[in-house]
A and B are shown apart, each in its own frame.
Chain A
């Protein structure tokens, strides 16, 4: 299931009141973590990529698709961008069961498939993530970790070309965080999709990303390998973020990701 490594590249400039966002990023098969203090523009950037906020200038390209180009007046609607978006609270539809949530994504892709066929396919997605037995549960009766799995299964069922994760572990308890990190890290690596991860959590960065972009007041002040950013933090925020995370074993989690980066290049 390794992706063909389409790239997501963007250069956008947006003004929102007194706040101005100006960022250029390039994401390939190596997951990129977007870190920065509150109000640094992480969410705005994510919304711009999703097409929920229109930048004033710039260009967003995913693989061969131009999602946005201010000069050419191209602005593809969110539903045509093929992006998997996982918000902080997973965004499961509360009025649908786990399997119906996944089937929703399938129905969006192929209006013509029979509902029964979609159900079978949705169940296959859930089984792939080890939660086939929870198919008929409503989201309110799932644990945080299980919700994350349903959300990812649903996102992937829409055959996305890139993955956007917003604080994937923030709304979980500590135990579930460990489990979800391991699961996400494995999934992200096996998918090979361009992945952007917005986070406040150094453990997330270490487990899930191999590159880091540091945002400050709407600007990307540094972008590089996790290793390098940690060695020489470009901002006081980045310094604080990574100083608290130098727990024993963190390096071991980190190494395989870096190795994989070498393999990919």
Chain B
């Protein structure tokens, strides 16, 4: 009897140790790099890194291009998602899957694909060149690469948001005489807004961190196409503490974004509860 209780107690201890141990190892592994990023070298070397000539052009370019990218993604992605969410056309489901492809392919592949499509010798590059426009290895290419890799994040969130709207609300709006634009702007858009903003934020984070496709399609020219992630790559060859400082900049942006999303999700959760009585 007592032996049995002891065995049970021991197996419970073993269970507890295994859970804490395994989880703890992963936790440490995930946290330690951030600790090192923050502490290594001390504040002086980080400040010196921030003073590097690469920093400010890259920061300006990154913020500018990623914000333009998100604006473009939202501008085109919202109508596309609305159509995808409402389409009963079977091909729309396939299109949805296809549009998720940039999420799962390596960004470098995206860069090659962009080069083959819009590069000087690409499939459509000739047409573009005759029109006097060669996007590859320019700021435009930076934005194109960012839109390409970040759009799926927004699209997925937006398709889900529109698909989750109570069909009864849309039916009622239409029965009241709401025209398609009124249905979209006055009902669908306000109700889906929390998720659209969440999707746009994720999309912005992806655009800000874009590296592979940018390197392939836009190049790594300081002051022209060198975004923060590319500057980190370049700085690594000069001085690791410069790379560290630039990395910390990106961590700060990402962390602020996460805090914003958390607060925002709480708001969205309340809205969702209201929308489904």
A→B interface (CB under 8 Å): 50, 52, 77-89, 91, 93-95, 104-105, 107-109, 138-140, 154-155, 158, 160, 164, 171
Contacts and interface: CB of A to CB of B under 8 A. Distances in A.
Interface in B155-189: 166, 168-169, 171-180, 182-183, 186-187
B191 A85 contact: no
Interface residues of B, number: 23
Contact of A158 (B168, B176, B274, B277): B176
Contacts of B169: 91, 93
The 3 closest A-B CB pairs, nearest first, are: A108-B177, A91-B172, A85-B175
> Interface of chain A, helix or strand or loop or mixed?
mixed
Contacts of A86: 172
Nearest to B177: A108
B11 interface: no
Interface of B: 166, 168-169, 171-180, 182-183, 186-187, 190-191, 271, 274-275, 277
Contact of A155 (B176, B187, B190, B277): B176
Contact of B274 (A80, A109, A138, A171): A138
B164 to A, nearest CB: 13
A171 B191 CA distance: 22
A109 to B, nearest CB: 6
Given A79-B178, A79-B179, A158-B176, A93 B187 contact: yes
A194 B76 CA distance: 43
Contacts of B171: 50, 52, 78, 85, 87, 91
Contacts of A95: 190-191, 271
B271 A79 contact: no
16 contacts: A83-B175, A84-B175, A85-B171, A85-B175, A86-B172, A87-B171, A91-B168, A94-B271, A95-B190, A107-B182, A108-B178, A108-B179, A109-B177, A139-B274, A164-B175, A171-B277
Interface centre among A83, A94, A138, A158 (most CB of B within 10 A): A94
Nearest to A138: B274
Contacts of A104: 173, 176, 178, 186
Nearest to B172: A91
A99 to B, nearest CB: 15
Contact of A89 (B168, B178, B179, B180): B168
Interface centre among A80, A87, A91, A160 (most CB of B within 10 A): A91
Given A89-B168, A104-B186, A94 B175 contact: no
A140 B274 contact: yes
Nearest to A47: B171
A141 to B, nearest CB: 10
A232 to B, nearest CB: 35
Given A79-B176, A80-B177, A91-B166, 19 more contacts: A50-B171, A77-B174, A78-B174, A84-B176, A86-B172, A88-B168, A89-B277, A91-B169, A91-B172, A93-B191, A94-B277, A104-B176, A105-B177, A108-B177, A108-B178, A108-B179, A108-B182, A139-B274, A160-B175
